[in-house]
Amino acid sequence: MPHVKLEHTENMTPSKIKPIFNQLINILIENALVKKENCKCRAIQISVYDTGNNDSDHYYHLEISLLKGRSKEIRQKIGQMSLDSLKYYFADNHGKSDKQFSVEIREMNPKNYFTSNIL
């Protein structure tokens, strides 16, 4: 724990995605006090999508699942820092983007989470 899932519509190589995962893990280590070795990240390309705005627009949705127990302020800080990171890594060369970005922080009940890792 935690689990980081990035859904994206734009075709990207792992070399483009790995740096954002490293940044997100660092955000979680600094703010949620998690162990690096317990972080699990995955990226999923969505091939069929619609943004409701224009078929050529792309979006990135980040879902971070954490065990319950972090304050609202910590969750908000993680969410905002993660959103800023997405916008930075996936903007064009001029720092602008017509892409849509969103972040969702999910809290999981520790009684409903089972792992072989030592939390």
- At 118 the pLDDT is 66
Task: Quote the pLDDT of residue 49.
Answer: 83
Whether the CB-CB separation of 44 and 5 falls below 8 Å is answered with yes
Average pLDDT score over residue span 12-19: 92
pLDDT at 1 > cutoff 90: no
> Which element (helix H / strand E) includes 36?
none
Specify the DSSP element, H or E, that contains 114: none
- pLDDT tens digits, 65-113: 999 999 999 999 999 999 999 999 987 766 666 788 999 999 998 888 8
**Residues 6 or more apart whose Cβ sits within 8 Å of residue 90:** 10, 20, 60, 97, 99, 101
Return the closest-CA partner of residue 40 out of 88, 84, 13, 6. 6
Task: Look at the block and give the residue holding tokens 């939390």.
Answer: 119
pLDDT at 45: 96
